Structure 1
Amino acid sequence: MSGLIEKLMQVKNLLNDDLSRQILESRIHFTHTVLSANRECDCREGYQHYDSSIIQEIDCKITKSERFLIAGAGREGIRTYEALAHAGYSNIEGFLDNDKKKYGEAIEGVKVYPFSSIISSFHDCYIVVANKQYGEKFFRQILSYGFPKNKVIYSLSGKLTSRFGWEYFDIPKHKKGVREVFLDVGSLDGKDSLNFIKWCDGEYDCIYAIEPSVVSMEMVNNNLIDNNVKFINAAVGEESGELPFYEVVDHPGASGILANKDSQISMVHMVTIDSIVINEKVTFIKFDTEGSEIPAIIGAKETISRNKPVLAISVYHNEDDVVEIPLLVDSIRQDYKFYLRHYSNNSSDLVLYCI
């Protein structure tokens, strides 16, 4: 334990702003209390730091002028209200609950009603069901009143997913260069490369889209054709060779070199970053390799040491990544400045920036 505390203090001292330190403390709390107790993660820094957000389950599907009801007037209902309000869905007509003592009360200035009122008073509303404990019960209860199923937003995970900011490109205190060379390590569908093009206003020399999944590489090719991109269908690690790859066909983002019970196993070629960009002046590397970020960084030591590119690294796949990865990068170059940013209200989408 003393070794962990010492490492935490080292990382805390590396971080360059209060928000980063707050995020680190929240992550350590999540890892050692919430996760160990099998409780739901509730990451709230984004609501405080960002002026707006999008909700993954309803973005671009439902206009913000629509009226909403929230199933459940307890703690999870209040979290749903907060997520909707922060995303600009301001027409929240009420909470629905089975506790008669709450009827007529106001929570966040919004009244609580019985479920039985939905047809007579709220037939034109959408009902959001985002409750881990009672979600299925609420969903069945709503349908039992004859409420149309297509007007019910039912989150199977038990919460709405809020997304904040511009992941990988919301870079603190940094401006784009004039001849950017971007390495998209873990390209998935190529959308991060498209965001890079937007970030640098199309002024770049080259993009390397690196992705081991055959399924994902097809999407990368389709999305990035005619954009001066070098496509590399391979995994990245600390040495070159062959290794087993676990392909999740229905959910390519979950594919990787770590075992997955829903995956199909195949052998893929593995390369190091240092071996593929020997003569490039790399300016920006994004790492999102589904838990193998550390070996990928080790295989990029020479590139990082030589060029000092901006690094945007996912640090949420393994419990210790948020501690071990900053220390690893600092061991390669001691002149980086470090920032943490969190782009959702769940345990994923935590990014370390090294600038």
Structure 2
Amino acid sequence: MSRDFMQALKGEISSSQQNNFGVDNFDEYRFGKYRDDVKSRPSSFQKIRGFLSSKSGASSSRNEDVQDIRKAIPGVEKFIRLYDAFPEKDKSLLITLLAYQHLGYRKVRLPRNTKAYWELFESAMTLENQSDTYDPHFQNFILSKFNLNPIGPDVKLYYAVIGIVATFLLEQYAYKVDGKNFIEVKQNDIVFDLGACWGDTALYFANKATDGGKVYSFEFIPRNVELFNINLDFNPQLKPIIEIVDRPVSDNSNTIVYYQDRGPASKISLTPFDGQTGSTTTISIDDYVIDNNIDKVDFIKMDIEGAEMSALRGAIKTIKKFRPKLAIAIYHSMDDMADIPNWILDLDLGYDIFLDHFTIHAEETVCFAQVR
């Protein structure tokens, strides 16, 4: 199977070389107005060209293939096991994501970039009240108030169109098979929502878990928590289901963390720094579960800006005991993309792993896992 992986990756990279996408493969909702001078080639581009011009291919040995592709994409061998573990459609997505990470948006078009995807943005805008806005002081975002009732969820919140599409229309934290949810939060589920930000995922999960469930939402940046609470007040029917835990999650509890509050762009450090606006202490999921006498955990979602691996290590007892469904962001680094799914497999708890991606750019790749 390793030969299948390497041939698929080389084929994807080779077939992408002549592409020259522009604004049609650039997300202006996320990155602002398109410019021709936007950087599009990652630093590995020349190494990839070298890989393509090498003798790697059907006539080369496996060892030669591995050495050639290692030079082009360091650490790539960690993906071979994942390629074997993923279902067929996710294998193809993995290959495309790896090519995108190393060639950029001018060369590789991700599968989400379809007419149907952009129609979701048009649908989201019909739910928007642009006369009622909120400034989160984050990049160029001005948030509008959305009423999602016309599409089903009885949810109101300040948010951005791009977020409404990801969280509520694409359902970023539900894995689908043939268009139907296969891994998702269900009624009465106990959910751990790590990286809750402005509360969109908490509201999404609470709407699914309903009165019999509970959502523990971990968010400690004060500016984010302020807007989270505003969004909770818009939804009194869901507010009792959601509990905000204003501590960062890690592998150990009670480690001091220093931060500069810039909303979703906040700076976080384990040592004091100039410009910091506050400090707090970490909590591990295992300690939180024990301290609060939580007797079941059904679903764990994480998107915590590259701290997912540490948080998973701090949740290992919880995962082993309850074997919850997992939805873990793996797009913050290439190491995360390989190491997190491999860590889940190494638990040897009977988890099957799955992969999905929810934008036309490098962000929002999620590894799903469920015990078979």
TM-score, normalised to structure 1, is 0.61
Give 1:254's aligned residue.
265
Give 2:125's aligned residue.
60
Q: 1: CA distance between counterparts of 2:108 and 2:212?
A: 38
**Shift in Å, 1:228:** 2.5
Kept in 1, the 8 Å contact 2:174–2:185? The answer is no
For the aligned residues, what is the CA RMSD? 3.3
Q: Give unpaired runs (5+ residues) of structure 2.
A: 1-69, 129-164, 234-238
Q: 1: CA distance between counterparts of 2:127 and 2:232?
A: 29
Give 1:179's aligned residue.
188
Give 1:309's aligned residue.
324
Kept in 2, the 8 Å contact 1:46–1:345? The answer is yes
User: Do the aligned partners of residues 171 and 263 (structure 1) sit closer, same or farther apart at CA in structure 2, a change above 3 Å counting?
Assistant: farther
User: Do the aligned partners of residues 6 and 44 (structure 1) sit closer, same or farther apart at CA in structure 2, a change above 3 Å counting?
Assistant: closer
1:9 to 76, 80, 103: 80
Kept in 1, the 8 Å contact 2:99–2:108? The answer is no
* Corresponding position: 1:277 with 2:289: yes
TM-score, normalised to structure 2, is 0.59
* Corresponding position: 1:24 with 2:90: no
Three-state SS of the structure 1 residue aligned to 2:125 is coil
Aligned length: 248
**Shift in Å, 1:181:** 0.3
**Shift in Å, 1:232:** 0.9
Kept in 1, the 8 Å contact 2:187–2:208? The answer is no
More RCO (CA 8 Å, sep 6+): 1
Three-state SS of the structure 1 residue aligned to 2:256 is strand
Q: Give unpaired runs (5+ residues) of structure 1.
A: 64-161
**Shift in Å, 1:349:** 1.1
Q: What are the superposed Cα offsets for residues 141-196 of structure 1, whole Å, 9 maximum, x if unpaired?
A: xxxxxxxxxxxxxxxxxxxxx86721113455236544210111011011101111
Q: 2: CA distance between counterparts of 1:335 and 1:288?
A: 23
1:46 to 102, 112, 130: 112
User: Do the aligned partners of residues 43 and 348 (structure 1) sit closer, same or farther apart at CA in structure 2, a change above 3 Å counting?
Assistant: farther
Identity of aligned residues (%): 23
Indicate the structure with greater helix content. Answer: 2
1:167 to 162, 172, 178: 172
Three-state SS of the structure 2 residue aligned to 1:4 is coil
Give 1:83's aligned residue.
none
Kept in 2, the 8 Å contact 1:209–1:220? The answer is no
Three-state SS of the structure 2 residue aligned to 1:320 is helix
User: Do the aligned partners of residues 233 and 54 (structure 1) sit closer, same or farther apart at CA in structure 2, a change above 3 Å counting?
Assistant: farther
* Corresponding position: 1:241 with 2:270: no
Matching residue's letter, 1:325: I
Q: 1: CA distance between counterparts of 2:339 and 2:192?
A: 22
Q: What are the superposed Cα offsets for residues 57-95 of structure 1, whole Å, 9 maximum, x if unpaired?
A: 9951799xxxxxxxxxxxxxxxxxxxxxxxxxxxxxxxx
**Shift in Å, 1:219:** 1.9
**Shift in Å, 1:314:** 0.9
Q: 2: CA distance between counterparts of 1:256 and 1:333?
A: 35
Please say which structure displays the higher CA radius of gyration: 1
User: Do the aligned partners of residues 56 and 246 (structure 1) sit closer, same or farther apart at CA in structure 2, a change above 3 Å counting?
Assistant: farther
